[in-house]
Amino acid sequence: MNDDDPETPLDGHITSLSVLRSYRRLGLAERLMTQAQRAMAEVFGAQRVSLHVRVSNVAAFSLYKNTLKFDIKDTEKKYYGDGEDAYAMKKEIREMYLSEMDSL
C-alpha cells in the first residue's frame, strides 16, 4: 500500500480511549468514539476504523460490539505486554457519514 497515493482508501485506528472513573456511564466514550469516527471519515476519507480491546474488558467490549456495532475480526494472542489476548475489531464507517458529507 502506498500511503502517498490519494486513490488508496484509508483506515483509521483507535489506539487508546479512556474515561475517568467518576465520569463513566454517562455516554462520554460513545460520544468520543462517534466524533472520532466522523472526523476520520470527513477529514481523512477513512473507509474503516479498527481497534483492539482486552478480552477481559467486558464494558469496553460491550460498547464496541453492541453499541457502536464493531465486528470482531480476530483474536490476537498475547497482544498486550502482560500477555493478555485482544479482540481485533473493525467497523465500516464511510457509508455512515457519506450522506452527511454530500449535503455540506
Model confidence pLDDT, tens digit, residues 43-83 = 988 999 999 999 999 999 999 999 999 999 999 999 999 99
Q: Which three cell numbers stand for residue 9?
A: 482508501
C-alpha cell at 28: 462520554
Rounded to whole angstroms, the Cα distance separating 45 from 66 reads: 25
101: part of which helix (H) or strand (E)?
A: helix 94-102
Residue 65 cell numbers, joined? 460490539
Q: Mean pLDDT in the chain?
A: 89
pTM for the model: 0.82
